Amino acid sequence: MKITSNAFRANSRGALQDRNLQDALGNLKRGFQEKRRKAKARLPEFEELQDHAVAIKEHSLDHLDFYLERFEKEVTARGGKVHWCRDGAEARATILKLCKDVNAKRVVKAKSMIAEEIAINDYLEANGIEPCETDLGEYIIQLRHEPPSHIIGPAIHLKREQVADTFREQHSEFPDARKLDAARDLVDEARHIMRPRFLSADVGISGANLLVAETGSVVLLSNEGNIDLSRALPKTHIVVASIEKIVPTLSDANVILRLLSRSATGQEAAAYMSFLTGPRGADETDGPEAFHVLLLDNGRSDLLKGEFERILHCIRCGACLNHCPVYGVTGGHAYGAVYTGPMGAVLTPLLEGLEHAAPLPEASTFCGRCEEVCPMRIPLVGLLRNLRVRLLKKKPDGLATRRRLGVWLFFATRPSLYHGVARLLLRLAAPFGRGGALSVGPRAGGWGRRFPVQGGPTFQEMWRQREKAKRP
Ligand code: SF4
């Protein structure tokens, strides 16, 4: 997927004017942020767990080859098969072959960002196999032919009324006059559509939250129960996982799981926590007859031991998206990529090439909220800054921008002068711009600072007054 600076800016401008999107993103702030804050407060050892989780990831990546091979050995010992895939093309071809081997006509899919990364749905469809999404959010966006806009809430950009309209358009088998006002109505209708699909599917495909080397288990979290149905009902199950999901032991997985749901949705644990360990055993009543795990690299091993290795610690909780002021107003589609928000702004250029994703490292105010809430303590701001440095080395700024930066540097390195000039400019501009904004800063590449012009005291003055008033 190629994205250009112009497209990103145009997408962002469109997003800012989209009333429905802005309302939907408002829910994001009210919901996820508050729930995460409360969940963290309820767990006194949260920060201790973070340190432990970072150490587990560091150790796992330092010995990645060893633990992946151990994982393969355990999966094989339990009757499953591991397939090593260098890139998306190899992963797509492997999945298609596995589907053709069982003459599959229909596949049920649980939510998987890796499946999005390799664009498996389009590929299966082009080869005569029907991919059916079973996660409600993924199902909605599949009906609308849209990509996911959030790593844990693919349809978070939509309001309930928009989903109801989509169902009315697409579900012609239901009466026009039916009630679709409440979330419950929508869930019931989607469930009615999905049930027969689970029963008639030949293959189930899922992603993986974690891979456990010591048992060969694939760990998956969900709140809808669709993962277990996708795994248990079709005769063949295929897991698509990226290599950095490996952890050595079940107890290591437990440390990360305790952070994951709390950081993602503010739950202590997801409603369903599935450990898939091989195909159905002789003494088991359900499960697939064949169990395959695809281990996808797709550029990740190039990041090992380098300045961007820390992004491989990401557990896809979505907290950085939920707290990012840029994501909070543009939503995910503006990024034009599978991975969005701060983690996507780092990962996408690394996986797809900086030249295909140049605007994304710029899509940050560097306020640092993302890394403050990241359960894996990933230094997102530093990684974004390193990407900007790389960009600058590839394409140095023109003379005009360098001159503007020079003026900016002159003032920015003299705080008293900077504040004095800013105060003066704001006062001078006040009679002309009440209710408007004044652009201050280099505006290099379109990113500058805009301060509201209000005529009263500046922010610094207000802060000083408040501090003074607090003193006894
Ligand atoms: S970068 Fe951190 S906060 Fe963002 S999705 Fe990954 S683990 Fe979660």
User: pLDDT by residue for the chain (472 residues), tens digit each?
Assistant: 445 655 888 899 899 999 999 999 987 777 899 999 999 999 999 999 999 999 999 999 999 999 999 999 999 999 999 999 999 999 999 999 999 999 999 999 998 999 999 999 999 999 999 999 999 999 999 999 999 999 999 999 999 999 999 999 999 999 988 999 999 999 999 999 999 999 999 999 999 999 999 999 999 999 999 999 999 999 999 999 999 999 999 999 999 999 999 999 999 999 999 999 999 998 998 899 999 999 999 999 999 999 999 999 999 999 999 999 999 999 999 999 999 999 999 999 999 999 889 899 999 999 999 999 999 999 999 999 999 999 989 887 788 888 888 888 899 899 889 888 878 877 777 766 554 555 555 555 555 555 566 666 777 778 888 888 888 7
Distance from the CA of 135 to the center of ligand 1, in angstroms?
21
Record: fold of 43-298: Rossmann fold (3.40.50)
Q: Is the CB of 152 under 6 A from ligand 1?
A: no
| Nearest one of 319, 225, 254 to 35, comparing CA atoms | 319
Please tell me the predicted confidence (pLDDT) of residue 2. Answer: 47
- The predicted structure's pLDDT at residue 401: 83
| Amino acid residing at 40 | K
For ligand 1, atom 3, which residue shows the shortest CA distance? Answer: 374
358 Cα: distance to centroid of ligand 1 (angstroms): 21
Q: Tell me, using a 6 A CB cutoff, whether residue 315 lines ligand 1.
A: yes
User: Which residue lies with its CA nearest to atom 8 of ligand 1?
Assistant: 317
Q: What is the dihedral of CA 367, 54, 361, 1, to 10 degrees?
A: -140
Q: Is the CB of 381 under 6 A from ligand 1?
A: no
Dist. CA 312 → ligand 1 center (Å): 10
- Interatomic CA distance for residues 129 and 104, integer angstroms: 7
* Amino acid (1-letter code) at residue 158: L
Cβ 375 under 6 angstroms from ligand 1: yes
DSSP E strands: which ranges in 60-191?
81-85, 106-109, 130-133
pLDDT of residue 64: 98
Q: Answer yes or no: is the C-beta of 259 below 6 A from any ligand 1 atom.
A: no
pLDDT tens per residue, range 329-343: 999 999 999 999 999
CA of 323 relative to ligand 1 center, distance in Å:
11
List CB contacts of 352: < 8 A, sequence separation 6 or more.
1, 337
Question: Which pLDDT belongs to residue 424?
Answer: 83
Contact 215, 277 (CB under 8 A): yes
Ligand 1, atom 4, residue with closest C-alpha: 320
Atom of ligand 1 nearest to the CA of 380: 1
Cβ(140) to ligand 1 under 6 A? Answer: no
Q: Is residue 398 helix, strand or coil?
A: coil
Q: Please report which helix (H) or strand (E) contains residue 123, including its range.
A: helix 120-126
Four-residue CA torsion sign, 112, 295, 228, 52: negative
Pocket test of ligand 1: the residue of 320, 340, 348, 370 to mutate, having most ligand atoms within 8 Å of its CB, is: 320
Within 8 A by CB and 6+ apart from 308, the residues are 346, 350, 383, 386
Locate the ligand 1 atom nearest the alpha carbon of residue 263 and give its number.
8
Give the per-residue pLDDT at 1. Answer: 44
Q: What is the C-alpha separation between 273 and 468, in angstroms, rounded?
A: 52
Region(s) of the chain under CATH 3.40.50.10420: 43-298
According to DSSP, residue 128 is labeled T
Which residues, 6 or more positions from 67, have their beta carbon under 8 angstroms from its beta carbon? Answer: 60, 213, 246, 247, 248
Nearest-angstrom CA–CA distance, 62 and 134:
36
d(C-alpha 137, C-alpha 332), whole Å: 14
Q: CA–CA separation, 155 vs 315, rounded Å?
A: 20
